[in-house]
């Protein structure tokens, strides 16, 4: 009996070992899988179809708007159709009130008809019907200068801010990084060109001077304090101004850049610990309808007024605020892993956009790329050891809200440190890691426009840089060669990196991102470079697969201090 049991055990063990050996023999190599990924992604891509639906059909996707919720639901359903599992909408928030532009037009109607290129700011109130009013150019950088307009602005349409020179462009709007540019990036040289996230983005929301040159006036002779944008708006509100028109601070040739409405100074005192109101807050203070105008049109109106013309403008501006659901949602879906399915590799991009166009390069391109990467992996039949998860974030444009909420809910959060003794000083917060923190592998993000991937920012992670150099070798022929230890910011990898987790953004060719499309009225499908987004999807699929198949988790940087000042982390 003992001999029989032993014999059976040996046979069973032999069969198991044989099965394992056969499985290992049949498992494709990394090189074979990358070859399949390249073929699927370059020969049978669906990335442009995805992009067209997100931009042409759904359109602008402002956080909190019905269009963004529609995009959440469509991407969830599309990922399910491709065979991804557990596709879902995960709520975060509350964010605040949504906003939709329903109708807009602006034109000078006297002394002649002049059609105007302009766009309302997000969360701006509308006007009733069609408002016709006198156009007044307000030149005031101090309180004293502003007082000259008291009693003259009721019902007026105010031009708010200085004119701007529009020099001829002798350099192209679009460009790619040269080999010399990339070499300087890799070396971390100070003269290396900077990507979009390596320079501070203009502030967004109340108190921002984005879209309002008047926000940085020069005091008259130093005799009076400078006039803040919030104070100017408060004056306009008191005086009954109908519409405030700001010139676009950059762009020309009909391109304008527009973000959110500013709020007036309320006069109430607030401490640093209190968050300033935002235009999407349910109880945001009342403000004036606000529009951004293309610089050529704006400059012409100012010149006409200065030459004695009395202009009348007709503005139609119907908007809708949405306050039934104050939550926002991220779209998530999984390609489940096998023996290490509890460990997670993530790909992501932000689904929300601004409203002046259809948000193609910022950031339907990134969303279509990461969705396509998941479709490719499913289509070629990979069986990753770790779960590969795609995330389409929202609230990125207002402050990386969706990705931050995910990290705090699932991975790591900052909690107040109990204080003892005397009150005062800088409040402290302590980072508390969740159970899934140790099972998290790596996050890869794409959010710098339509440009092809040229490499990756290693965020100071030297061990990661070694891996990235190896992983890019199969894509040197596609132009992806560069690894830099430099940090980059302002994208959804930041909450992961801030929590001490591996989170990375790719280096992309700039194309026309900063010059034509980023937050502008030209950010449309036609600005997408099809071959670039195909290449990016292939590389992201390959990176995700290789991370999911490693024996070890992705290398992390040195542990950070567990307690930080409240003002230094979101």
Confidence of residue 150 (pLDDT cuts 50, 70, 90): very high
In this structure, how many other beta carbons lie within 10 angstroms of the beta carbon of residue 168? Answer: 5
Residue 212: its pLDDT value, please? 38
pLDDT value at 18 more than 50: no
**566: pLDDT strictly greater than 50:** no
Instruction: Return the CATH class of domain 103-171+180-320.
Output: alpha beta
- Strand-by-strand arrangement of the 412-416 sheet: 412-416, 428-433, 563-565
CA dist list (Å): 180 to 23, 189, 237: 46, 11, 52
Residue 226 has pLDDT above 90, yes or no: no
Mean pLDDT of the chain: 89
Is the predicted pLDDT of residue 91 greater than 80, yes or no?
yes
Bridge-based pairing of strands 503-508 and 563-565 is unpaired
Provide the Cα torsion 318, 323, 327, 333; round to 10°.
-50
Give the predicted TM-score (pTM) of the model: 0.88
Say how far apart CA 499 and CA 411 lie, in whole Å: 8
Distance CA 214, CA 208 (A): 11
Asked whether residue 253 carries a pLDDT value surpassing 80, the answer given is yes
pLDDT score of 417: 80
In whole angstroms, give the CA distance from residue 135 to residue 245: 10
Judged against a pLDDT cut of 70, whether residue 208 lies above it is answered with: no
DSSP 384-398: -SEEEEEEEE-S-TT
The DSSP secondary structure of 440-458, one letter per residue, reads EEEEEE--S-SPPEEEEE-
The whole-angstrom distance between residue 334's C-alpha and the CA centroid of its chain comes to: 22
Q: Which residue has the higher pLDDT, 417 or 535?
A: 535
Q: CA–CA separation, 121 vs 451, rounded Å?
A: 27
Per the CB < 8 A criterion, the answer to whether 92 and 352 are in contact is no
Between helix 30-43 and helix 365-379 the angle, nearest 10°, is 120
pLDDT at 239: 97
pLDDT in tens, 290-306: 999 999 999 999 999 99
Residue of higher predicted confidence among 214 and 244: 244
Q: Cα–chain-centroid distance for residue 322? A: 22
Q: Span 454-469, mean pLDDT?
A: 97
Q: What is the pLDDT of residues 417-440, one digit of tens each?
A: 876 655 555 568 889 999 999 999
Query: What value does the mean pLDDT take over residues 235-252?
Result: 97
**Residue 223 has what pLDDT?**
52
pLDDT tens, residue by residue, 121-138: 999 999 999 999 999 999
Radius of gyration (C-alpha) of the chain in whole angstroms: 27
Scored b (16 or more CB within 10 A) or e, 359-390 reads: bbbbbbbbbbbbbbbbbbbbbbebebbbbbbb
Query: Any idea what DSSP says for residue 521?
Result: T
**CA 222 and chain centroid, separation:** 39
Domain boundaries, given as residue ranges, for the chain: 29-95+327-415+438-560, 103-171+180-320
Instruction: Write down the pLDDT at residue 24.
Output: 45
- Cβ neighbourhood burial of 343 (10 Å; 0-12, 13-18, 19+): buried
CB 423 within 8 A of CB 481: no
Phi/psi at 427 (nearest 5 deg)?
-65, 145
Sheet strands side by side (includes 85-92): 85-92, 328-335, 386-393, 340-350, 440-445, 503-508, 453-457, 482-484
Q: How many residues does the chain have?
A: 570
Residue 280 near residue 398, CB atoms below 8 Å: yes
Second-level CATH architecture of 29-95+327-415+438-560: 3-Layer(aba) Sandwich (3.40)
In the predicted structure, residue 532 carries a pLDDT above the cut 70: yes
Token pair in block for residue 291: 């529009």
332: pLDDT confidence band, cut at 50, 70 and 90?
Answer: very high
């Amino acid at each position: 009996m003992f001999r029989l049991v032993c014999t059976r055990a040996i046979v069973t063990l032999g069969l198991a070992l044989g099965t394992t050996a056969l499985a290992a023999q049949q498992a494709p190599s990394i090189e074979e899988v990358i070859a399949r990924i390249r073929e699927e992604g370059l020969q049978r891509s669906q990335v442009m179809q995805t992009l067209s639906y997100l931009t042409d059909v759904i359109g602008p996707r402002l956080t909190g708007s019905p269009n963004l919720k529609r995009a959440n639901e469509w991407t969830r359903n599309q990922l399910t159709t491709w065979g991804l599992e557990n596709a879902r909408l995960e709520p975060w928030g509350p964010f605040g009130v949504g906003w939709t532009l329903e109708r807009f037009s602006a034109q000078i109607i006297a002394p002649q008809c002049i059609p105007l290129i302009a766009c309302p700011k997000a969360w701006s109130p509308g006007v009733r019907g069609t408002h016709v009013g006198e156009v007044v150019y307000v030149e005031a950088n101090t309180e004293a200068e502003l007082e000259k307009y008291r009693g003259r602005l009721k019902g007026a349409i105010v031009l708010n801010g200085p004119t701007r020179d529009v020099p001829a462009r002798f350099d192209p709007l679009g460009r790619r990084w040269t080999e010399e540019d990339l070499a300087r990036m890799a070396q971390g040289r100070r003269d290396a060109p900077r990507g979009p996230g390596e320079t501070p983005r203009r502030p967004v929301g109340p108190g921002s001077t984005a879209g309002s040159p008047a926000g940085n006036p020069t005091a008259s002779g130093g005799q009076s304090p400078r006039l803040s944008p919030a104070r100017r708006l408060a004056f306009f509100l008191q005086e009954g101004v109908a519409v405030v028109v700001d010139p676009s601070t950059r762009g020309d040739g009909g391109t304008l850049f527009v973000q959110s409405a500013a709020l007036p100074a309320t006069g109430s005192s607030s401490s640093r610990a209190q968050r300033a109101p935002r235009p999407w807050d349910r109880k945001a203070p009342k403000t004036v309808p606000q529009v951004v105008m293309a610089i050529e049109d704006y400059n012409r109106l100012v010149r006409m007024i200065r030459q004695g013309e009395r202009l009348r403008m007709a503005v139609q501006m119907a908007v809708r605020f949405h306050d039934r659901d104050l939550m926002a949602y991220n779209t998530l879906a999984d390609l489940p892993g096998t023996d290490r399915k509890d460990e997670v590799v993530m790909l992501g991009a932000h689904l929300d956009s601004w409203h002046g166009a259809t948000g193609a390069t910022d950031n339907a391109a990134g969303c279509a790329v990461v969705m396509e990467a998941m479709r490719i992996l499913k289509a070629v039949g990979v069986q990753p050891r770790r779960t590969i998860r795609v995330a389409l974030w929202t609230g990125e444009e207002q402050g990386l809200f969706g990705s931050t909420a995910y990290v705090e809910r699932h991975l790591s959060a900052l909690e107040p440190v109990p204080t003892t003794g005397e009150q005062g000083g800088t409040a402290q917060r302590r980072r508390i890691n969740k159970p899934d923190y140790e099972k998290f592998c790596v996050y890869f993000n794409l959010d710098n426009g339509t440009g092809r991937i040229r490499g990756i920012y290693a965020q100071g992670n030297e061990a990661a840089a070694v891996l990235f150099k190896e992983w890019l070798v199969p894509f040197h022929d596609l132009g992806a060669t560069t690894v830099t230890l430099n940090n980059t910011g302002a994208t959804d990898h930041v909450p992961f990196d801030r929590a001490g987790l591996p989170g990375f953004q790719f280096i992309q060719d700039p194309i026309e991102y900063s010059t034509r499309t980023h937050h502008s009225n030209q950010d449309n499908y036609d600005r997408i470079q099809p071959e670039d987004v195909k290449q990016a999807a292939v590389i992201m699929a390959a990176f995700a697969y290789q991370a999911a198949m490693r024996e070890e988790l992705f290398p992390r940087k040195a542990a950070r201090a567990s307690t930080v000042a409240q003002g230094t982390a979101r």
